[in-house]
């Protein structure tokens, strides 16, 4: 029998201690259920190796802890580890899990300790892989130096610090103490591995300090003394925290302290401990419940993989489906999508290979037609027979292709910033506008991406930095917005280039001619700073029977322009 795939889901918590929030989690395996809790500042992605090794024996549920990965933060500047333990119990309640085994690594190990001591009736057993036991002086030092703020800087300087911080963690522990005593005898991580860690750091942003601080401030020795459920404290021999195990003294009789060997041997040790005591099972995953007033997240399954979406169903009427540009994801559509809340049902979908969606559904070389077929499969999975398509940039070409593939499903087509360059502009964009921004050992690729995205706000096209290329529109240069776009650029692992190239070379004009014959209601739109604004105006002039709408600068106001109140009756 094939091993169950690792799938991704969201759970919605309503009426909890911290209000309504969502938890993203990964799931795999069969057998008794175990919660797998990751280290800071990473996400459940850090649990893939554990889940892969354990899934023949256990049903692994790996949530992103609050404020990490794709899970909502608790919304507080400081939290204790007991708070994180309570948050895990709320997550269990949302899944309908009355009792479970729990495994945690580093910060996750500290949550496991807190769960075992605070909620013994909910925990059958716990494995804490990498426990931290600090003296008061060490604790004060860590809290003071380990957790500097992480806030995007207009010039991208925070990226140089972040990359250096991740490299330093492979050289010294703690990372901020460059001394012989702190030197680590380990290999430097590859640029790709550093980038994976960087992406999770960017996902959590400044929230990373909340989880880390809670781990450092937990009085581990006291917690171990009060553990009321079977608990294994361990660490691999290569783990710097293995040096902490001898500090465990006067622990509860429920606590077993046993050093591991290699990382895999340590995982096997933990699995055997869990298998001896865990019996609880879990039902099938369920869709994330709705949240009023916000765009909730969820995953849908299509042939070949999963796609992430955000949606809100507070209003009635024809649903609006937003498709993002090659440079973005549903996260860059938050302001645009938010404008439709309470006016129309609204959905935003990560295109394959973008944001948090799998690339596999494309099944081969990316093309606009392949993207459109995958979006069509998503509509089938969602049970949406009819919707308004709003495509932005490269997403506009996908929307156009989808309207041709399934015209009866499109109540209206809105093409915002439609790429339709002339031959010379196309050649120039293909040659200069799509740099291959791969991870480099020194991190210089991060500034490459940062300044490319920033220059898109100043020049049109962004690589023409001459007087002729000056974009004379109100610049939107918020560093947080650029950070969101950079995260999208990096986590697409080059898919943004392939999608943008496919959009630039897509036969837009012939497809618009075909669309006219199908009588799908269609309109063009562009904002003043749109990189493809001139292309959209060119398309509007070439097809004068299709209306053109001038959008305001602020994407949050686009919904009012595209769906004014008088059209909602």
Nearest in space to 241 (alpha carbons), one of 133, 110, 168: 133
Does residue 385 lie in a domain region?
yes
Residue after which a domain boundary falls, among 277, 311, 346: 277
What pLDDT does residue 569 have? 42
Q: Which helix (H) or strand (E) holds 299?
A: strand 296-302
- Please answer whether residues 406 and 373 qualify as being in contact, where contact means their C-beta atoms are separated by less than 8 angstroms: no
515 within some domain: yes
Residues 266 and 347 in one domain: no
Query: What's the rounded Cα separation, in Å, for the pair 486 and 159?
Result: 11
- Contact, 279 vs 290, CB < 8 A? no
DSSP state of 106: T
Q: At 330, is the secondary structure helix, strand, or coil?
A: helix
C-alpha torsion angle, residues 37, 40, 41, 45 (rounded to 10): -30
Same domain, 408 and 512: yes
Indicate if 364 and 242 belong to the same structural domain. Answer: no
Look at the chain and report how many structural domains it folds into. Answer: 2
Q: What angle do CA 439, 9, 216 make, to 5 degrees?
A: 65
The answer to whether residue 159 sits within a structural domain is: no
5 to each of 29, 30, 350, 525, how far by Cα in Å? 7, 11, 21, 41
Is residue 207 included in any domain, yes or no? no
CATH number at residue 262: 3.40.50.1820
Which residues are 59's β-sheet partners? 29, 33
What's the rounded Cα separation, in Å, for the pair 569 and 565?
Answer: 7
Q: 10 Å Cβ neighbour count for 472? A: 8
* Residue 365 confidence (pLDDT): 82
Cα–Cα distance measured from residue 366 to residue 116, given in angstroms and rounded to the nearest whole number? 48
Q: Which residues pair with 305 in a beta bridge?
A: 302
The pLDDT of residue 567? 57
Looking at the fold, whether 242 and 316 belong to one and the same domain comes out as no
280's CB contacts (< 8 A; 6+ apart) are 32, 33, 97, 98, 99, 100, 101, 124
Q: Say if residue 17 is in the same domain as residue 94.
A: yes
CA–CA separation, 528 and 532 (whole Å): 10
209 — phi, psi (to 5°)?
A: -70, -30
Based on the fold, state whether residues 237 and 346 are members of the same structural domain: no
Residue-level pLDDT at 351 = 98
Residues 273 and 308 in one domain: no
| Contact between residue 266 and residue 235 where contact means Cβ atoms under 8 Å apart | yes
Same domain? For 70 and 107 the reply is: yes
Sheet harboring 387-392: ordered strands across? 296-302, 305-312, 346-349, 320-323, 387-392, 410-416, 522-526, 548-550
Question: Looking at the domain assignment, is residue 332 inside a domain?
Answer: yes
CB neighbour class for 46 (10 Å; exposed up to 12, middle 13-18, buried from 19): buried
Q: For residues 47 and 112, state if they share a domain.
A: yes
Backbone angles phi, psi at 62, to 5 degrees: -115, 100
Q: Which of 522, 567, 569 is CA-nearest to residue 549? A: 522
Position 444 in a domain: no
Q: What is the pLDDT along the chain (569 residues), one digit of tens a residue?
A: 455 689 999 999 998 999 999 999 999 999 999 999 999 999 999 999 999 999 999 999 999 999 999 999 999 999 999 999 999 999 999 999 999 999 999 999 999 999 999 999 999 999 999 999 999 999 999 999 999 999 999 999 999 999 999 999 999 999 999 999 999 999 999 999 999 999 999 999 999 999 999 999 999 999 999 898 999 999 999 999 999 999 999 999 999 999 999 999 999 999 999 999 999 999 999 889 999 999 999 999 999 999 999 999 999 999 999 999 999 999 999 999 999 999 999 999 999 999 999 999 988 888 999 999 999 999 999 999 999 999 999 999 999 999 999 999 999 999 999 999 999 999 999 999 999 999 999 999 999 999 999 999 999 999 999 999 999 888 889 999 999 999 999 999 999 999 999 999 999 999 999 999 999 999 999 999 999 999 999 999 999 999 999 999 999 999 999 988 755 44
Sequence-distant (≥ 6) Cβ neighbours of residue 415 within 8 angstroms:
391, 396, 399, 400, 522, 523, 524, 525, 536, 539
Query: Are residue 19 and residue 119 in the same domain, yes or no?
Result: yes
Count CB atoms within 10 A of the CB of residue 548: 16
Q: Has residue 535 been placed in a domain? A: yes
Predicted pLDDT at 346:
97
Claim to verify: residue 410 and residue 540 sit in the same structural domain = yes
pLDDT for res 184: 94
For residue 401, the enclosing domain spans 296-421+501-564
Q: CA-CA distance, 398 to 36, in Å (whole number)?
A: 38
Domain identity same for 315 and 265: no
Distance CA 65, CA 114 (A): 14
Assess if residue 489 is contained within a domain. Answer: no
């Amino acid at each position: 029998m094939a091993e169950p795939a690792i799938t991704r889901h969201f759970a919605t918590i309503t009426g909890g201690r911290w209000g309504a929030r969502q938890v993203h989690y990964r799931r795999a395996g069969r057998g008794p259920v175990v919660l797998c809790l990751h280290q800071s500042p990473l996400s459940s992605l850090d649990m893939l190796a554990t889940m892969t090794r354990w899934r023949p024996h256990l049903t692994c549920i790996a949530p992103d802890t609050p404020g990490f990965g794709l899970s909502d933060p608790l919304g507080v500047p400081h939290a204790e580890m007991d708070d994180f333990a309570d948050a895990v119990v709320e997550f269990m309640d949302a899944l309908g899990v009355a009792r479970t085994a729990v495994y945690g690594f580093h910060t996750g190990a500290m949550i496991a300790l807190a769960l075992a001591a605070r909620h013994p009736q909910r925990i059958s057993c716990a494995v804490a892989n990498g426990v931290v036991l600090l003296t008061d002086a060490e604790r004060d030092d860590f809290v003071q130096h380990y957790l500097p703020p992480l806030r995007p800087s207009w010039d991208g300087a925070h990226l140089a610090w972040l990359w250096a911080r991740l490299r330093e963690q492979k050289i010294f522990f703690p990372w901020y103490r460059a001394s012989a005593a702190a030197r680590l005898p380990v290999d430097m991580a590859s640029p790709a591995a550093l980038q994976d860690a960087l992406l999770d750091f960017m996902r959590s942003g400044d929230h990373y300090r909340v989880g880390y601080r809670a781990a450092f401030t937990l009085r581990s020795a006291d917690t171990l003394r009060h553990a009321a459920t079977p608990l294994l404290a361990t660490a691999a021999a290569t783990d710097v925290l293995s040096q902490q195990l001898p500090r465990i003294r006067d622990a509860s009789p429920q606590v077993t302290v046993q050093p591991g060997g290699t990382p895999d041997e340590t995982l096997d040790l933990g699995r055997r401990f869990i298998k001896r005591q865990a019996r609880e099972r879990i039902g099938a995953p369920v869709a994330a419940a709705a949240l009023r007033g916000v765009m909730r997240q969820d995953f849908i399954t299509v042939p070949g993989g999963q796609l992430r979406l955000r949606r809100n169903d507070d209003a009635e009427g024809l649903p609006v489906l937003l498709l993002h540009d090659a440079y973005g994801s549903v996260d860059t559509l938050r302001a645009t999508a938010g404008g439709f809340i309470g006016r129309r049902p609204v959905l935003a979908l990560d295109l394959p290979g973008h944001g948090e969606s799998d690339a596999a559904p494309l099944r081969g070389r990316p093309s606009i037609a392949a993207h459109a077929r995958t979006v069509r499969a998503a509509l089938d999975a969602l049970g949406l027979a009819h919707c308004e398509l709003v495509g932005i940039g490269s997403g506009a070409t996908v929307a156009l292709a989808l309207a041709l593939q399934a015209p009866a499903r499109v109540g209206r087509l809105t093409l915002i910033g439609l790429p339709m360059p002339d031959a010379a502009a196309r050649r120039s964009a293909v040659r200069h506008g799509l740099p291959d921004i791969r991870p480099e050992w020194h991190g210089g690729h991060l500034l490459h991406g940062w300044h490319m995205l920033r220059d898109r706000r100043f020049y049109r096209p962004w690589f023409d930095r001459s007087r002729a290329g000056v974009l004379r529109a109100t610049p939107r240069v918020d560093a947080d917005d650029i950070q969101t776009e950079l995260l999208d650029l990096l986590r697409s692992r080059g898919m943004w280039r392939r999608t943008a190239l496919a959009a630039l070379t897509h036969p837009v004009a012939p497809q618009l001619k075909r669309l006219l014959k199908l009588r799908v209601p269609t309109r063009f739109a562009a904002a003043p700073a749109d990189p493809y604004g001139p292309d959209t105006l060119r398309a509007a002039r070439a097809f004068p029977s299709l209306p053109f709408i001038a959008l305001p600068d602020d994407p949050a106001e686009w919904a009012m322009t595209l769906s004014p109140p008088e059209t909602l009756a």
